[in-house]
Structure 1
Amino acid sequence: MRTTRTRGILTAAAAIVLAASAISATAAAQAAGNNSDSGNGSETNSALADAFNGVDRNTGWQQTSKLKLNFPTYHTEGIAYSRDHIFLSAVQILEPTVKFPRPQNGFDRTPGKGVGHLFVMDKAGNLQRDIILGEGDMYHPGGIDFDGTNVWIPVAQYRPDSSAIIYRVDASSLEVHKQFEVKDHFGGIVLDQQTGHLVGNTWGSRRFAEWDLQGKQLSTWQNPNFFIDYQDCQYVPNSRMLCAGITNLPQTPAAGGAGVGYELGGMAMIDLKSRSVIRDVPFQQWSTAGHVASRNPFKMTADGGHLTMRVAPDNGEEGNGTEILTYEATVAPAK
């Protein structure tokens, strides 16, 4: 197992070169229609969007496989698939954050300490590389996405209203590029392959932002939906974003006992042009450790009306450790 640590700040000239190469590589991947296990590819491929429009609360999801990961995975965050690799982001907590009695210097808690990981595996789940990402208080990787060439990863402080680094990792060479830094905690990101712009979501997915590849913020907007907090997302042609996540709800206390939180899971398709939620549905399947399956890492693919979802909701120290769970369902696309 190799470990790679990235440092340094890109110059403006280097950022421009990297941006141009990223756009060129993405365009080449789109032209090739490369969507091998990634859910991405040609802008004319609407299979996933069409099939997801047929998903509702009665869709019969069946768990069809479990892939046990036999290495420390800590707290899993995002997952992505290329032709040769599985990528899994995770945060290793060394010192938990602590809430302040009242905000201090614009923060509601201490920064804590940790290590950000991007695990690179073969398709059998064997660890090939552990890439360490982050700088200083920015150690928390979020949801990730693969654009056909690169894996995009935000690494933020583990607190809202803070800061983050946006990384680009070449899925073939595994070369790491620090793309730019942003103000605020961003916990998920996709590359809109129609515009060539990046779209990220903040803490609790309450706000979205759009940037060019040099890090210039082009727009922001509030999330119009309060159903769930998005944890991991993926790009879907044309200019759509498919996300999954959870919200924790209180339960009625049992007689003589305290209430226990309930994890409500769900998925949502977002139109990046109109900035509206096209469709959202609950998802209530449970992991080995008892978490709702859409809790963190999530990716989906479609073959006609047959959907395949891969998730990794459990932390490394829970139950049987981290397992990549596969769920499948067949739907009649909505008309």
Structure 2
Amino acid sequence: MHLLPAAPRRVRRTLALTAAAALTAVAAGTAAHRAAADTPALVTTVEKLTRSTAWQQTGDLALRFDAHHPQGMLRIGGLWWMSSVEILEPTVRYPTPVDGYDRTPGKGRGHLFAFDDQGELQADILLGEGAVYHPGGLDFDGESLWVPVAEYRPNSRSIVYRVDPTTHAVTEAFRVADHLGGIVHDTTRDRFVGVSWGSRTFYDLRRNGRVAGTRPNESHFVDYQDCDFLSGRSMLCTGLTEVAGPNAAIRMGGVAVVDTKKLTVGHEVPVFRWSTSGANILRNPSDLALQPDGSVRLTVVPDDGVSARMLTFTAKP
């Protein structure tokens, strides 16, 4: 592993917790995370969801900071962690590919935010270097957050970072010669599964980042935006598909169960709900958790910038 140089990383605001309190919070968060998400019961429940499943909105929280363009999110204890890209200079498509790229690199900053249940920002950790500034879907394995940061263009490169949620220490874990839009830590095999731009390719990665295998995504239902590993050999992925319609773009969100060993897609279900801005709720990051009553809680941040809101929906098969 290579340590991230100190200069590029900056924590704008950190939690006012003592070391002991921070460790207690993360320990409690780890237990809650496993109870709410890392259970076969969540997979079984999601596999019972259908196109006719009713998603009822149960929460709407304004985020009290500029969320930029959110990518991945999850909850640890009393905090939400969310990756996001701040675009300083948009990419521009080339008339014809240049050096294998279809667009300019653009400029930006990668953020890892932590915020509370009131939408107040508690930490802002900057990730990436140079043209590598686009964070993707993140995962938490009970000890560390794993965040891929890539160039904002396909067929490029990525850095996978390991972040300590207690100390906010950042370590570069490994690099991959492609754009990784999301990653999970399969703790059963101690492997990482990454998804490429548009999730068209699954990557099976060893602990040091070496590619153990790849597999084309056999499903063309949605492009995965955010994935979380569950106990066993499953991960849940959410995402969006967008096609040009006669009058406007047609967008549909969806949830998929993916086998992390075979790299195959199992159950898939569409989600037809939209934010007040008209975005499908699975446009950006999501977090799925099993509730005590057997329902599934879906937490999302579908909109960008200073208008971003965290919405909560529940569904029961």
TM-score, scaled relative to structure 2: 0.88
Give 2:141's match in structure 1, choosing from 133, 141, 147: 147
- SS of equivalent residue, structure 2 residue 299: strand
Q: Which residue type is aligned with residue 122 of structure 1?
A: D
Partner of 1:11: none
Q: Which residue type is aligned with residue 224 of structure 2?
A: Y
Q: CA deviation at 1:7?
A: 2.2
Give 2:124's match in structure 1, choosing from 130, 134, 138: 130
Give 1:36's match in structure 2, choosing from 33, 37, 41: 33
The question of whether the paired residues in 1 share the 8 Å contact of 2:37 and 2:288 is answered with no
The question of whether the paired residues in 2 share the 8 Å contact of 1:270 and 1:277 is answered with yes
1:116 equivalent to 2:110? Answer: yes
How many percent identity over aligned positions? 42
1:328 equivalent to 2:317? Answer: no
Q: CA deviation at 1:6?
A: 4.6
Equivalent-residue separation in structure 1 for 2:36 and 2:175 (angstroms): 27
TM-score, scaled relative to structure 1: 0.84
Equivalent-residue separation in structure 2 for 1:267 and 1:192 (angstroms): 19
1:201 equivalent to 2:195? Answer: yes
The question of whether the paired residues in 2 share the 8 Å contact of 1:300 and 1:309 is answered with yes
Q: Which residue type is aligned with residue 237 of structure 2?
A: C
Per-residue CA distance 1:260-312 (angstroms, 9 max, x = gap):
11111111111122322110011010012110001110110113631101010
Equivalent-residue separation in structure 1 for 2:146 and 2:118 (angstroms): 22
1:266 equivalent to 2:254? Answer: yes
Q: CA deviation at 1:74?
A: 0.8
Runs of 4+ in 1 over 6 A off after TM superposition: none
Deviates more, 1:272-281 or 1:158-167: 272-281
Q: CA deviation at 1:34?
A: 2.2
User: For the structure 1 residues 38 and 202, does the alpha-carbon distance in structure 2 shift closer, same or farther, using more than 3 Å as the test?
Assistant: farther
- SS of equivalent residue, structure 1 residue 128: strand
Q: How many residues align?
A: 293
Alignment of 1:161-180 (within 5 A): 161-180=155-174
Partner of 1:21: none
Give 1:307's match in structure 2, choosing from 296, 299, 303: 296
User: For the structure 1 residues 273 and 36, does the alpha-carbon distance in structure 2 shift closer, same or farther, using more than 3 Å as the test?
Assistant: closer
The question of whether the paired residues in 1 share the 8 Å contact of 2:30 and 2:76 is answered with no
Partner of 1:25: none
Equivalent-residue separation in structure 2 for 1:215 and 1:264 (angstroms): 33
Alignment of 1:179-258 (within 5 A): 179-252=173-246
Partner of 1:48: 42
Per-residue CA distance 1:193-242 (angstroms, 9 max, x = gap):
21111111000000011112211211111100001100011112211111
Q: Give the unaligned 5+ runs of structure 2.
A: 7-26
User: For the structure 1 residues 289 and 6, does the alpha-carbon distance in structure 2 shift closer, same or farther, using more than 3 Å as the test?
Assistant: farther
Partner of 1:255: none
- SS of equivalent residue, structure 1 residue 36: helix
The question of whether the paired residues in 2 share the 8 Å contact of 1:240 and 1:269 is answered with yes
Q: Which residue type is aligned with residue 253 of structure 2?
A: G
1:290 equivalent to 2:287? Answer: no
The question of whether the paired residues in 2 share the 8 Å contact of 1:38 and 1:80 is answered with no
Q: Give the unaligned 5+ runs of structure 1.
A: 9-28, 253-258
Equivalent-residue separation in structure 2 for 1:129 and 1:35 (angstroms): 21
Partner of 2:76: 82
Equivalent-residue separation in structure 1 for 2:136 and 2:98 (angstroms): 24
Equivalent-residue separation in structure 2 for 1:217 and 1:38 (angstroms): 31
- SS of equivalent residue, structure 1 residue 214: coil
Give 1:281's match in structure 2, choosing from 261, 265, 269: 269
Q: Which residue type is aligned with residue 116 of structure 2?
A: D
Per-residue CA distance 1:76-125 (angstroms, 9 max, x = gap):
11111111321111111111101001111111110000000001112332
Equivalent-residue separation in structure 1 for 2:188 and 2:63 (angstroms): 35
The question of whether the paired residues in 2 share the 8 Å contact of 1:49 and 1:237 is answered with no
